[in-house]
């Protein structure tokens, strides 16, 4: 009797949205990163610096901007950072459609 080879399950990194605290795969979230130049959106997810994750829903961004995002990045958001993030936030849909 021969043993069947064990199928390995691919590891999928999980991240928590700082706005709503929901845990999802990393690829389904948007990364915000604190760099030397300030806070900005990281579309690739590979920029160096302290990062935090948010859904692509405006409601999560609104909650995150109230303080959770600054706490996760361990930095105070400057007026310029807030303006840049709010500009990006305004391009997001009010509520993203869920696949469920």
CATH number for the domain harbouring residue 24: 3.30.1230.10
The answer as to whether 1 is a domain residue is no
Secondary structure of residue 48 in the 3-state scheme: coil
Can you list the positions of beta strands (E) in the chain? 14-16, 23-25, 30-35, 38-42, 50-54
pTM beyond 0.75: the answer is yes
Q: How many domains does the chain have?
A: 1
Token pair for 12: 């999928």
Q: Give the pLDDT of the chain (100 residues) as one tens digit per residue.
A: 678 888 888 999 999 999 999 999 999 999 999 999 999 999 888 999 999 999 998 999 999 999 999 999 999 999 999 999 999 999 887 764 444 4
Question: Structural domain of residue 20, as residue ranges?
Answer: 14-89
Residue 72 placed within a domain: yes
């Amino acid at each position: 009797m021969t043993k069947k080879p064990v199928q390995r399950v691919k590891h999928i990194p999980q991240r928590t949205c700082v706005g709503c605290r929901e845990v999802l795969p990393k690829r389904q979230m948007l990364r915000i990163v604190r760099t030397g130049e300030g806070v900005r959106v990281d579309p690739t997810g590979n920029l160096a610096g302290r990062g935090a994750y948010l859904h692509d829903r405006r409601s999560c961004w609104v909650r995150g901007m109230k303080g959770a995002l600054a706490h996760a990045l361990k930095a105070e958001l400057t007026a310029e950072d807030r303006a840049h993030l709010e500009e990006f936030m305004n391009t997001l849909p009010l509520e993203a459609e869920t696949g469920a």
